[in-house]
Amino acid sequence: MYGFRTSMRVYRHFMRADTNRLPVNGLRATAPHGVRAFRDKRYGEGSSMAISIIDARDVLSHLGNERLLDVRRPDEFARGHIPGARNVTVTPHGDDPGHAAFIAGVEAAFPDTAEPLIVYCRSGVRSAAASKILSHAGYEDIRDYSGSWLDWTSDPSRPVER
């Protein structure tokens, strides 16, 4: 679905960011402890993108709040997912021009764009792309679980819903 080049572009985009400090309206603000975050200022004043990178501990603390978005394919989702997650598949750009179907699916499942939204996939590549798409669509508090499903299932004590 996503090739090596796409993976590297997403990886480079995240790595270009200063992960310890955030520029906010010309000021420098420190990111919360244990959270890497960045702002992409290419889109002009007031329309910058903010995405937090979180780990399994953060996801565990949000279980039950129904704000988990799984962007894997439906067959992957059916084999198991984080409890409470909703599935909206992110597709390659050619299959969904402008990602309109993806954005519409997310807006139907999560209409409140100001509430935190945790995004994950299988390995972190699709969730990174989905986080960027959602940020451009107006979601204000996106938290990308970069370890994603592979990290979640590496610990048998973590709950899995089928």
From 79, 78, 84, 60, select the one nearest 145 (Cα to Cα). 60
* Catalytic member of 49, 88, 119, 121: 121
**Please, are residues 86 and 68 in contact by the beta-carbon 8 Å criterion?**
yes
Alpha-carbon distance of 53 to 136, in angstroms, equals 17
- The burial class, CB within 10 Å (0-12 / 13-18 / 19+), for 26 is exposed
Counting Cα atoms < 13 Å in the Cβ hemisphere of 84 gives 15
**Please, are residues 30 and 43 in contact by the beta-carbon 8 Å criterion?**
no
- 114 as an active site residue: the answer is no
- Residues designated as active site: 121
